[in-house]
Structure 1
């Protein structure tokens, strides 16, 4: 297991947007909430006390200013954030009966699609996380893809959360081919059970797990499957399979839950100087997943994507 530098930094790359979330009991009013999968990952990791930077292009409109301000207030380094006059991406969120979130996106001509390649990331970068719309919407998707492959080649721990938004993927088969092309450059693949099923074209849990194991053969050292209230399962290239149950809480909504899992896992791995998840013992795997589940439990217990701080998480122990 190769150790990382003590000042190791997590970089999360992808979109920052504004979620318009139901505000009233009847869902007839919408309130703006700052979010976006990679944006939430950055905030989750930084709030847990690990140096974190965000890579994106953010609008200079009022929403963009608020997005940058929230990053800074959460302790995220914004030196890799590019700014542009294009508008901020909007996502209209609806909640199902079980408080699960569904999204409709407004992305035409928005700032985050026009991110420029920053070149090699800073030398203290220990981990890079990408995913969600950042890996779908062009021309930005090609930029994040380039960064992913380059940083993997430089020895950075690379993580991918596809966080599938099916309505934004016009050609599912082409996306699946592209997803497969990323796997040799990914060390840690994290995705929901539903997303894994969509990518695998399967609904049966055994078929989904079979596909997840096949993804390990393509490059990742670990695949993490989030299963909502049923917890999280970790599969590794060394043959380990570890499941940690979910934590029972009163769910307000699930916005940002998976992003919190990703940010918390990366925070744990960087703090413990882990680069190869497949080298962890079973106890260490359980510690990693339990830490991420605890963080996600706090997030779903409050409205919108509000990951916990390190202090809040300690108080939950």
Structure 2
């Protein structure tokens, strides 16, 4: 089973009928990862604290409709986090977050995850906003030490990081416990703080990460391992509606592929394996960006898309 931990929120996106209105879309990076993996047919659970407000109820209902296990969910009366989304001329998304006193940042450490857990994915605001960030960090360290495939997508939201130097130091402290690091080139450049992306990736690999997967927007995906860049996959051409949830879909699809292959160590993959994994994730993301909001594909949709 894959466990995805982090925030669940509501994206307020420009309505299709008029730019003067905003339409709610259920999302959040880790939430979208859970939806993706479950829709692709892999047992998946979501770890978070979700509001008991109307938005929270809708978030939980959508998880269950996608066959996500909600037994690790915590509920509380605090409001749901909101993200106001603006789209640029390339349909790329920019976010403004409203997180003060919201439910997801108050998640508590659940203790050891179920024995059936084979993979754990964390990232985005869940690893930034306290006190929840410390709870997720404890889960990361504990599950890594018992052999779970641990994956991190930092999904940097720079406006939410009040002390960049402290965050970068904390990020470095996570790396010995992370087997798969997935991030965009923009995030890699922010974390590298002026160093080249490949040079930074080598440092992250030296710290303990087994594979660094880089998403490059229209230039596709690539992976860097201790042996160097071993594989890449192009972006699949589609009519892009928006890019909301694209990176989350890549993360969920990669983990689904790895679990389906019964692989807990990314270092065990050869270039041909990585080519398949990246291509699988690229096709899943192509379907997501062809839709409004984060709407990952099902296994049947992906099979038909092939």
TM-score by length of 2: 0.99
Give, in whole Å, the separation in 1 of the partners of 2:16 and 2:225.
43
Please list every run of 5 or more consecutive structure 1 residues that lacks an aligned counterpart in the other structure: 1-8
Among 284, 287, 298, the alignment partner of 1:298 is 287
Q: Which residue of 2 aligns with 1:267?
A: 256
Report the secondary structure of 2:175's partner residue. Answer: helix
Q: Deviations over 1:176-206 (max 9, x none)?
A: 0000000000000000000000000138xxx
Among 37, 57, 61, the alignment partner of 1:65 is 57
Offset at 1:143?
0.2
Offset at 1:241?
2.3
Q: Which residue of 2 aligns with 1:4?
A: none
Give, in whole Å, the separation in 1 of the partners of 2:229 and 2:114.
33
Give the paired residue count. Answer: 306
Whether the 8 Å CA contact 2:39–2:66 is kept in 1: the answer is yes
Q: Does 1:210 align with 2:199?
A: yes
Q: Which structure 2 residues correspond to residues 1-317 of structure 1 after superposition, within 5 A?
A: 9-24=1-16, 26-202=18-194, 207-317=196-306
Q: Deviations over 1:95-137 (max 9, x none)?
A: 0110000000000000001101100000000000000000000
Give, in whole Å, the separation in 2 of the partners of 1:128 and 1:305.
21
Moved beyond 4 Å, runs of 4+: none
Offset at 1:25?
5.3
Give, in whole Å, the separation in 2 of the partners of 1:39 and 1:96.
24
Give, in whole Å, the separation in 1 of the partners of 2:134 and 2:204.
21
Give, in whole Å, the separation in 2 of the partners of 1:259 and 1:25.
26
Structure 1 stretch 56-65 or stretch 276-285: which is displaced more? Answer: 276-285
Give, in whole Å, the separation in 2 of the partners of 1:240 and 1:112.
36
Report the secondary structure of 1:125's partner residue. Answer: coil
Give, in whole Å, the separation in 2 of the partners of 1:175 and 1:213.
19
Whether the 8 Å CA contact 2:222–2:229 is kept in 1: the answer is no
RMSD (Å) for aligned C-alpha atoms: 0.9
Q: Which residue of 2 aligns with 1:6?
A: none
TM-score by length of 1: 0.95
Whether the 8 Å CA contact 2:35–2:296 is kept in 1: the answer is yes
Please list every run of 5 or more consecutive structure 2 residues that lacks an aligned counterpart in the other structure: none
Offset at 1:26?
4.8
